[in-house]
Structure 1
């Protein structure tokens, strides 16, 4: 089983649960879309920062181009919203954990491209429209396979990916104005 397949299997339930929460938002409605982005920001921003601190650039050569913080903050500002209080991000204490966290954020980029189609035409969508140049996901999957080759490393990555999904789960279930 490839590292990608193992991580997908390990996080399937967490991913499905999170999708069920986020699917309740009408992304064409400015209020719902604002709440959707606010919930994302509460988790995404501290997670991306934690990945930076843990050394994402060591494992993903073009990591700076993967960051979406500025796009998300700009979309919130365009909607007249402020950056919400952050949830606590995982520590990503080793490279296996770091790759587990990156797996969730990189996968969310792919999901964002799909969700963007539901966003109202007049609403900002930089975060969901973040560039995904050809081959980026395949290169990332190759990185997973290069580093996550043992059962122990896959387990650590899976635990970190589930902890990352849990941050988003916490952010989406906390009531916000």
Structure 2
């Protein structure tokens, strides 16, 4: 898949940025969730405004900002301010952005195993591989040409950059 191949360096940068959080450590886990929330709140709002539900009718069920907010609330934390989301102005850009956040859902299931048992894990545990497969099928169908692929790629890279910025903003921040 083109998006996977072309965004590999972006994905690696985000993985590296979030690898600095020790998810077994409660303070690091809080900072991790705050970073995730500051990106998810913005990108999900941008996707909704851009008509993600027209591209993926089950978009409302795919949203995870509420899960990260619930986990933060369980930890006594409020919603962080959202970082500025990239502009999403086409169906191709919607698909590029969805590629990133739906892919993070798959990785979240593996990360959830590293979280201490007494900490909330709704956000990381919300995994459903059938949603990924259905998104890939839509991407394959809806991005046939170079122009739409370029739009999706630009959006995916912008969303990866948003998550990297969120991780760096929380790095070293102790959240008791």
| Interval containing the TM-score (normalised by the shorter chain) | over 0.9
Among residues 7, 13, 16, which one is paired with 2:3 in the alignment?
7
Among 102, 108, 121, the alignment partner of 1:106 is 102
Measure how far apart 1:135 and its partner are. Answer: 2.2
Counterpart mapping for 1:42-81 below 5 A = 42-81=38-77
Please state how far the C-alpha of 1:82 moved relative to its aligned partner. Answer: 1.4
- Mapped pair 1:161 → 2:175: no
State the SS of the aligned residue for 2:137.
helix
TM-score (ref. length: structure 1): 0.93
Residue 10 of structure 1, CA deviation? 1.5
- 1:38-87, CA deviations, whole angstroms, 9 ceiling, x for partnerless residues? 01111111101110110111111211110111111010111111111211
Once the 2 structures are TM-superposed, how far is the Cα of residue 136 of structure 1 from its aligned partner?
A: 1.8
Is contact 2:86-2:159 (8 Å) kept? Answer: yes
Instruction: Tell me how far apart the structure 2 counterparts of residues 76 and 125 of structure 1 sit (CA, whole Å).
Output: 10
Kept after mapping to 1: 8 A contact 2:43/2:85 = yes
Alpha-carbon separation, structure 1, partners of 2:32 and 2:58: 28
| Runs (4+) off by over 3 Å | none
Tell me the C-alpha RMSD between the 2 structures: 1.1
Q: How far, CA to CA, are the matches of 1:135 and 1:18 in structure 2?
A: 24
Q: Could you list the runs of 5+ residues in structure 1 that have no partner in the other structure? A: none
Whole-Å Cα distance in 1 between the matches of residues 134 and 67 of structure 2?
23
Provide the aligned length of Structure 1 versus Structure 2.
172
For 1:5-154, what aligned pairs fall within 5 Å after superposition?
5-132=1-128, 135-154=130-149
Q: Does the Cα contact within 8 Å between 2:108 and 2:127 map onto a contact in 1?
A: no
Q: How far is 1:131 from its partner?
A: 4.1
